[in-house]
């Protein structure tokens, strides 16, 4: 486990995060340290997500994609994301099972939170990210069919 200190996080919070996310004490410590360095006020905003995606997707439409991803982090619609919210989604992306990852992708696609994903929604996500993902319309249909089958 190592002797990692999580400066600013109470031990009971670390224990809870460990249980909820599957991250180790060391991983939580490292992620918290980086989160604090990147977010001086301990909150992440949509602009920070967009800036991150601009680096990853220099020729796409990172703002529209970033807004969708940010909405999955910002479950309470506060316009900002704290470390707990950030770590919860990150754990799905990095440690989640296939079903939880499909559910996260569905949340990105279902930006308006209607509970339904339409082909147009899937195609919109693909369109705004097309510069970095060589994906076809058939793959969009396959993804949608797979998710709807698993629901």
Element (H, E) at 8: none
Domain residue limits, the chain: 11-150
| CATH number, span 11-150 | 1.10.238.10
Query: What DSSP letter does each residue of 13-82 carry, written as one string?
Result: HHHHHHHHH---HHHHHHHHHHHHHH-TTS-B-HHHHHHHHHHH-TTS-HHHHHHHHHHHH-TT--S-B-
CA distances from 3 to 6, 10, 17 (A): 10, 15, 17
Q: How far apart are CA 109 and CA 127, in angstroms?
A: 12
* 67-116 tens-digit pLDDT: 888 988 898 889 999 999 999 999 998 898 888 988 888 898 888 888 88
- 62-66, 111-115, 142-146: which range is least confident on average? 142-146
Q: Do 77 and 141 contact (CB within 8 A), yes or no?
A: no
């Amino acid at each position: 486990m190592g002797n990692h200190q999580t400066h600013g996080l109470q031990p009971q919070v670390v224990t809870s995060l460990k249980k909820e996310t599957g991250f180790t004490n060391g991983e939580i410590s490292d992620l918290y340290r980086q989160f604090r360095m990147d977010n001086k006020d301990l909150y992440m905003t949509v602009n920070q997500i967009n800036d991150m995606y601009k680096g990853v997707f220099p020729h796409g439409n990172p703002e529209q994609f970033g807004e969708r991803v940010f909405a999955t982090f910002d479950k309470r619609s506060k316009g900002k994301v704290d470390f707990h919210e950030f770590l919860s989604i990150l754990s799905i992306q990095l440690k989640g099972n296939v079903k939880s990852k499909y559910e996260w992708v569905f949340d990105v696609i279902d930006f308006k939170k209607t509970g339904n994903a339409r082909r147009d929604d899937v195609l919109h996500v693909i369109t705004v990210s097309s510069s970095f993902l060589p994906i076809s319309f058939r793959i969009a249909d396959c993804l949608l069919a797979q998710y709807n089958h698993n629901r």
